[in-house]
Amino acid sequence: MLRALIWDVDGTIAETERDGHRVAFNRAFEAHGLPWQWDVATYGELLRVAGGRERLLHDMAGRADAPSSDGARVDLARRLHETKNVLYAALVEANDVAWRPGVRRLMDACVDEGIVQAIATTTSRANVDALMRTAFGNAWPQRFAAIVCAEDAPAKKPDPLVYRIVLARLGLDASETIAIEDSPNGVPAACAAGITTLVTRSDYFREADFAGAAARCEDLESALTWSGGNAPRVDPATLRDVLRTSLEQMRRAPRHDP
C-alpha cells in the first residue's frame, strides 16, 4: 500500500528555478559588481548542470572576465552562491515565487489520508526552509517525516543517493512510496532507487521525455497520462482521488528497478 509521498522541491512545488533562483543569481552578480546576467533561455541550458555552485563554475569556465585560477573561481562561486541564497529567501518571503497548482491541496490530502510525506532535494536546506515557511510557518518541518537536502546528499541527482537516504530515514520499502519530480535528473534518481515516479512538468522541462516515469501531468490539477500501452488516462475530480487512483494504476505500471 502507499505509505509515503516524496516531494522534489525546485520546479515541482514551485517554479523556483525560473522565478526564484535565476532572478536571485542575477541580483547576486549585480551585488558583487559583475556584469553577468542569465536570461530565461540561458538558465534553462545551465540547469543541465546540477547544483548552484557547480552551475556557476560551469558558466565561469566559458567567460573571459572570470577569475583565471581554479581556486579564485571556487571562492567566487562560493561567495556568489551565499549571496544568492539570501536574495532567494527575500524573493520567496515577498511571495514573488508562486506555488504550482494543486501542490498545497495534495499535501493537505496526504495529511487527511494518513500518508506521510518527505522531501528529497539537492537544493540547500536554507532554500527549502525559505519556501516552506511561506505556506506552513516556522513549524513546517513537522509536516514531513524525512527532509533530505544538499547538505545530506553530496551526490546530486541523477544519482539516487538522496532518495535512498529518504527511504532509510522513513524505514520504508521503495514499493510503498511515490515520488513527484519535474526534471530529467530527478526522474532517473527516483527510478534508480526503485521508487514509482509521477512527473509534473515544470516550465523548463515541459518537452522532456522522462523515460521511466509511471505517469505524467502538466500540473497537479490536470489529468494524468499513464505510461504503458494500455494505461488509461485518469481525470480525477479531486486530488484525494489522485492518491487513491494513482496507487492502483502505478501498481500495474512496469517497475523500474535499480
* Active centre residues (catalytic): 8, 10
Q: Which 3 state secondary structure label does DSSP give 36? A: coil
Degrees to nearest 5, angle at CA 106 with 195 and 243: 55
Q: Give the largest Cα separation in the chain, rounded.
A: 57
Query: Phi-psi category of 210—alpha, beta or left, where left has phi over 0 and alpha has psi -120 to 50?
Result: left
Contact 106, 242 (CB under 8 A): yes
In DSSP terms, which residues pair with 6 in a beta bridge? 118, 179
Contact 223, 233 (CB under 8 A): yes
Q: Which 3 state secondary structure label does DSSP give 58? A: helix
Contact 65, 120 (CB under 8 A): no
C-alpha gyration radius of the chain: 18
Contact 219, 242 (CB under 8 A): no
- Note every long-range contact of 233-241, with CB atoms under 8 Å and residues 24 or more positions apart, other chains counting: 238/109, 239/102, 239/105, 239/106, 239/109, 240/109, 240/112, 240/113
